[in-house]
Amino acid sequence: MMLKLWSPLWQADYGSQVVNDHPDWVADGDGVGFYGLHLNLAKPDVYNWILNKANEMQSAWGPYQWRYDGMPAWKVGGSDNDMLMQSQNFFQLLKAFKDANPLAWINGCSSGGETLLMEALRFSDTQQVTDGNAYHYAGYYQSLKLPIDKIDWPASRPEISSDFNTFDPKDPVVKENTRKYYEFNRYLASEGLIGRWVKVFRPTISSGDSTHILQKTNGNQSKSTIQFSSFTPYFNADFTVYPKGLVNDDNYTLRCYMGGCTPQTHTGSYWKTNGVAITNLQPGEVVLFNVTGYPGAGTDDTTPTAPSHVIKKTAYNMDRYGVELTWTAGADNRWISYYEIERNGIVIDKVSKGVYDFVTDGSISDTYKVRTVDGDGNISGYATASFQSGGPSAPGPITVPNIFRASTDFGSSQGLNNWAYFQQYTPYSSSMYLTNMNWDGTNNRWRGNEDYALIAGNWMSPGETYNAVRKWIAPKDGTILVSGNIALGQSSQGGDGVEVRIKRSGAYPFLESDVWGPYTMNGNDIAGLEHHFVLNVKRGEALYFNVNKRGNHYYDVTNWDPKITYGTPYLASAGFSGAQGSNQWLYQEWDGSVYHDMSAYLSDMGVWNGSQTYLRIGAGTQHPDAHDSVRTWVAPTTGTVVLAGTVRMGGTGGDGVIATIKKNGSMIWGPTTIAGMDTVTGASYDFQVSVNEGDKLYFIVNKNGNHYYDATMWDPSVTILP
């Protein structure tokens, strides 16, 4: 198994450095497609740049599997005259890359199998056949002319995970299944049953579709496997499979990896005539001929020897500090399955290949031990790691901010303060196709490839064919509060409004899903929309703040200054309850001298009612009467909290209210008067304050002159910083 990196180097994003530095390298007349712009591979400078870039990445990161994609050959200026040279340079590029990087792999892909040519395939180690679901047929028939182990034939297997892009940890059972699956295939490769020179046969079965079955033998046909596709319709059934490719007079010992047949030995002629009786076929089953010493066969009881010269040393690996372990390999009479790594008496890892392990954030003072485990689970004794000096010192504490705001973090570099600035090509908006904007230093803003595709500190503007997308990248794991207000910035000039949404990358860094919106805003909407929601994020996940045009992009400047706060958030509306004290919130009134809990929860209205008719508190609303309406938060711990929110009237006709925030008996914000007609702007606050466990924060709404029409919109948030 090898790291696979998707990198279609003949495709380039608008706004990328290579396009900015060499606009003449882009194919004449090219437009942005799904993969971006096309570099003209017929040009020698383009060929050399791509080869150098591919080699540089291999040198920097070590051998990995280069997965290419996109279209290496493309019309230039509407003509296909350059496409022959593009094609020749493409093949030459693959050869030159392999010559320069003999340990690297190539995974061929071009929107599936559009470069599925013999000339390209001979340089590829693996090759995608199709982006669509051709089920098992593509591999079954393509293997008539192409090496079976270079193309994707979906052999069935137990529940494993072949996707290592996700942030989420793997289920331990699935993780172990995955290790065993790859180990079994490594063993088959060592027996000559996986690789470039295997022979492929197509067995028949007693009943059913035989295209779900493929058989492979080694070069002299002394060993063989039969596998079943993952789409096999006869799982859990009994049937007979008739192999081919066995030498008639040679003996073949039968085994089944999942136990679906009876072990026995007969000649090749016997097996071809009588077949193999399969009982209750299960996913992952493999019929084996003369393959008896595989991992898990249960035929080995010899203890392996322990590793030696185990060394522990501080190190950096992929920018992470920790402890690296190295050792001299142990030995086994058949097959070493893995090395088991123990730290302070607890098993923390299994190393299936190589004699190296890296313990992220490990301490050099911990005790590390390594032992050998063979294919049938026999184990050696532990070898304890000895300390080796010369490694780097532990880094000093790194302070990662807990609060991020678009306007205050804004800058002229992509990624600065965890923010980046993109445009989204609307024909591919469903696929989240993003390209870089370019910095406009004259106007202190980011600009796309249209005049009005813009992002500034606290506003965004979509273009006619490009949406504006502000991206935030999580610097650490944690719980965040995502808050902000969105309003049109040119409301009096006749625009038709925008569509706004927030997406996240989720478990897969390259995929996204809506977490808020989409919402449509009219062109005269200066009141706007507020968003306050809580997410759990992993380091490296991203949020995308998108502004899209509606009918046209005229006068679509949109004020939006999102804020992300790490911590433990308490949002009034989300924590609202019919029980006093639930989620740290109390619903009270102030009579001028004492705070009293409201006693009546009106479930039909979803509000608390105090001692007076109009004295109420809802999920995000408050209404005073003669007494003040008081929403109270009780600190569950000592620390620093961030208070944020906006207070405005819920309707017109009254004389307004007075809003105040107090900590215990001290005023910390206000008093602020909200005018009776102010249903749009209101008064906003955003500040930090220290609290001790048990402290109370009071969010108070007081009538101004009278209590008529005093419904007040107020959804305060309190976030305890880490």
Q: Report the mean per-residue pLDDT for the chain.
A: 92
Q: How far apart, in whole angstroms, are the C-alpha atoms of residue 253 and residue 86?
A: 52
Q: How far apart, in whole angstroms, are the C-alpha atoms of residue 643 and residue 686?
A: 6
Q: At what angle do helices 83-100 and 44-61 cross, to 10 degrees?
A: 30
**pLDDT given for residue 116 in this prediction:** 83
Q: Tens of pLDDT along 19-32?
A: 989 999 999 988 77
Least confident of 59-73, 203-217, 344-358, 504-518: 504-518
**pLDDT given for residue 431 in this prediction:** 58
Does residue 509 have a pLDDT over 60? no
- State percent of the chain over pLDDT 70: 97
Tokens (6 digits) for 347: 């098993």
Whether the full predicted model's pTM is greater than 0.95, yes or no, is no
**pLDDT given for residue 430 in this prediction:** 58
- Class of the 308-387 domain? mainly beta
Does residue 447 have a pLDDT over 70? yes
705 C-beta neighbours (distance < 10 Å), count: 10
Tokens (6 digits) for 195: 């690789």
Residue spans of the domains in the chain: they are 4-132, 172-289, 308-387, 403-488+524-566, 570-720
Tokens (6 digits) for 15: 């706004």
Q: How far apart, in whole angstroms, are the C-alpha atoms of residue 148 and residue 153?
A: 7
- State how far the alpha carbon of 185 is from the alpha carbons of 15, 80, 95, 193, 233, in Å: 43, 44, 27, 9, 24
- Residue 432: which pLDDT band, with cuts at 50, 70 and 90? low
| 8 Å CB contact between 107 and 115 | no
Quick one: three-class SS letters along 255-272? Answer: EECCCCCCCEEEEHHHHH
Q: Measured in whole angstroms, how far is the alpha carbon of residue 270 from the centre of its chain?
A: 52
Q: Is 613 exposed, middle or buried (0-12, 13-18, 19+ CB in 10 A)?
A: exposed
Expressed in angstroms, the distance from the first to the final Cα of the chain is 39
**pLDDT given for residue 579 in this prediction:** 96
pLDDT average, residue stretch 556-560: 94
Q: For strands 621-623 and 657-663, give the pairing.
A: unpaired
Give the residue among 406, 646, 410, 449 at the shortest CA–CA distance from 544: 406
Phi, psi of 165 (to 5 degrees): -90, -15
pLDDT average, residue stretch 616-624: 96
Respond yes or no on whether the N-terminal peptide bond of residue 395 is cis (omega within 30° of 0): no
- 29-68 burial, b at 16+ Cβ within 10 Å, e below that, comes to ebebbebbbbbbbbbeebbebbbeebeebbeeeeebbbbb
pLDDT average, residue stretch 400-425: 94
DSSP conformation class of 429: G
Does residue 1 have a pLDDT over 60? no
**pLDDT given for residue 511 in this prediction:** 58
Annotation: CATH topology of 172-289: Immunoglobulin-like (2.60.40)
**pLDDT given for residue 165 in this prediction:** 58
**pLDDT given for residue 542 in this prediction:** 93
510 C-beta neighbours (distance < 10 Å), count: 11
| 8 Å CB contact between 341 and 350 | yes
Does residue 76 have a pLDDT over 80? yes
Greatest CA span in the chain, whole angstroms?
107
Quick one: three-class SS letters along 581-635? Answer: CHHHEEEEEECCCCEEECCEEECCCCEEECCCCCCEECCCEEECCCCEEEEEEEC
pLDDT average, residue stretch 583-602: 95
Does residue 15 have a pLDDT over 80? no
Tokens (6 digits) for 325: 């372990």
Tokens (6 digits) for 459: 């506003």
Give the residue among 694, 685, 586, 701 at the shortest CA–CA distance from 643: 685
CATH number of 4-132: 3.20.20.70
- State how far the alpha carbon of 36 is from the alpha carbons of 8, 12, 49, 452, in Å: 10, 6, 17, 20
| CA atoms within 13 Å, Cβ hemisphere of 139 | 26
Torsion of CA 353, 254, 225, 330, to 10 degrees: 10
CATH number of 570-720: 2.60.120
**pLDDT given for residue 508 in this prediction:** 54
DSSP bridge partners of 106: 66
| Identity at 109, one-letter amino acid code | C
| 8 Å CB contact between 689 and 669 | no
| 8 Å CB contact between 282 and 235 | yes
pLDDT average, residue stretch 272-284: 96
Q: How far apart, in whole angstroms, are the C-alpha atoms of residue 196 and residue 630?
A: 75
Q: Measured in whole angstroms, how far is the alpha carbon of residue 531 from the centre of its chain?
A: 24
- Residue 384: which pLDDT band, with cuts at 50, 70 and 90? very high
Q: How far apart, in whole angstroms, are the C-alpha atoms of residue 615 and residue 623?
A: 6
Least confident of 7-21, 319-333, 427-441: 427-441
Does an H or E element contain 53, and which?
Answer: helix 44-61
**pLDDT given for residue 167 in this prediction:** 59
Q: How far apart, in whole angstroms, are the C-alpha atoms of residue 583 and residue 591?
A: 25
Nearest 5°: CA angle at 584, between 581 and 589?
Answer: 60
Tokens (6 digits) for 390: 């010369």
Q: For strands 639-649 and 717-720, give the pairing.
A: antiparallel
pLDDT average, residue stretch 102-118: 88
**pLDDT given for residue 435 in this prediction:** 84
Give the residue among 54, 131, 121 at the shortest CA–CA distance from 93: 54
Q: Which is more confidently placed, 403 or 507?
A: 403
Respond yes or no on whether the N-terminal peptide bond of residue 671 is cis (omega within 30° of 0): yes
Topology agreement, domain 172-289 and domain 308-387: yes
Q: How far apart, in whole angstroms, are the C-alpha atoms of residue 547 and residue 224?
A: 58
Least confident of 218-227, 271-280, 308-317, 534-543: 534-543
3-state secondary structure of 185: helix
**pLDDT given for residue 164 in this prediction:** 59
Q: Is 285 exposed, middle or buried (0-12, 13-18, 19+ CB in 10 A)?
A: buried
- Residue 429: which pLDDT band, with cuts at 50, 70 and 90? low
Residue 70 Ramachandran class (φ > 0 left, ψ -120 to 50 alpha, else beta)? left
**pLDDT given for residue 325 in this prediction:** 97
